[in-house]
Structure 1
Amino acid sequence: MLGMAVAGCGASDSTVSKTPGPLSPTPPATSTPTAAPAPVVTPVPEADPCQVNLAAPEITRAVASLPPDPRSKQGWNPEPLAGNYNECALLSAVIVKANTNAENPNTRAVMFHRGKFIPTGVPDTYGFNAIDTAQSTGDTVALRYDSNIPGLSSVVKFRWNGNGVELVGNTSGAAGN
């Protein structure tokens, strides 16, 4: 309809006469239901890679690559008994046990540098059964051996020295040293 009004205008018509008038208002819709408000979407925060993550796939891969337990000749259970693994730490560790039904299976610590398994060059880490988080830092892991016999508990500290893992301290005695 607008095209017909423009086509009928001559060259002498003014601009005002060429401008279409206001459109008639649209009648309000009476049968249209009111739209529901959009749901509020709360963003799910991404997991912080610098937090302890004992379910990290790197742990399972590392444990699968370990040689069998020397006592039972069995592999190692990939589910950590304890640990402070995180992919940002210069040094972190998990404690795993031999995959056996023995009453007291061997345990060992598996160490990681920035989330990557350290397969060689780590001092002996058999027999530890906990991580002393109070004495561990971003570059140091304090491994505990807790015994039921008084005086036989100990903490051994390992540190990332820039090139590898080194033993830096050993304390014996009651738990909490």
Structure 2
Amino acid sequence: MKRSVTLGTVVGAALLTVVACSSGDSTVSKTPGPTAVPTPAAAPAPSPVPSPPAPGPTAAEDPCAVNLADPEILRAVSELPPDPRSNQGWSPEPLAGNYNECAQLSAVIVEANTNAENPNTRAVLFHLGKFIPTGVPDTYGFNGLDSTASTGDTVALTYSSGVPGLASTVRFRWNGSGVELIGNAPR
């Protein structure tokens, strides 16, 4: 009999559990429905993250930087006499150069504005950013600038025909009152 009581007790407890968890006594039906959540006032915008400083002044901001787009170059090229070989003017776009307003001597290389296969080239020289129109040694034929041999008062102009061993460099220096040829530099 003890077994039947125990078995009856277990069955009764199981029945009570099933009745207690019927659909009428569910936790879902006792959970309150959604309520309106008040809308907060406009949240303050996050403060902007400061951007890192610019890497340095650009050529337009730093007059002592090389600036091959400076308007002084265009003005100077427009004043040049025509190329003696083609009788054409000169292209204002430099092929090379180190023009800046702070250098005692700087230069740009331009070419004749012609459709010829090998247009004539020349250097245009500047003192403190201003075109030097007279008193300059002949600068025709140069087609590059050696920046390693150039300094604030010296410009090293180069000529290269593309043939090995025929390249040359000629240096010009501002002597305090004008430009002078100071010689060839080894290449």
SS in 1 for 2:125: strand
User: How many angstroms does 1:71 deviate by?
Assistant: 0.6
Give the total of aligned pairs: 145
SS in 1 for 2:171: strand
- Which is helix-richer, 1 or 2? 2
Q: Which runs of 5+ in 2 are unaligned?
A: 1-38
Partners of 2:70 and 2:106 in 1: how far apart? 13
Deviations 1:37-90 (A, max 9, x none): 343464655432211111111111110111110010100000000001111111
The code of the aligned residue for 1:85 comes to: Y
SS in 2 for 1:60: helix
Partners of 2:42 and 2:87 in 1: how far apart? 72
SS in 1 for 2:73: helix
Identity of aligned residues (%): 72
Q: Pick the aligned partner of 2:115 from 101, 111, 114.
A: 101
User: How many angstroms does 1:35 deviate by?
Assistant: 1.6
When the two structures are superposed, what TM-score results if normalisation uses the length of structure 1? 0.76
User: How many angstroms does 1:170 deviate by?
Assistant: 1.6
Residues 1:149 and 2:163 aligned together: yes
Partners of 2:135 and 2:67 in 1: how far apart? 24
Aligned to 1:60: 74
SS in 1 for 2:107: strand
Partners of 1:41 and 1:63 in 2: how far apart? 43
User: How many angstroms does 1:150 deviate by?
Assistant: 3.4
Please report the RMSD computed on the Cα atoms of aligned residues, expressed in angstroms. 1.9
The code of the aligned residue for 1:100 comes to: T
Partners of 2:153 and 2:49 in 1: how far apart? 42
Rg larger for: 2
Q: Which runs of 5+ in 1 are unaligned?
A: 1-29
Aligned to 2:19: none
Partners of 1:59 and 1:77 in 2: how far apart? 10
Greater than 6 Å deviation, 4+ residue runs: none
When the two structures are superposed, what TM-score results if normalisation uses the length of structure 2? 0.72
Deviations 1:129-163 (A, max 9, x none): 00011100000000000122333211100000010
Aligned to 1:82: 96
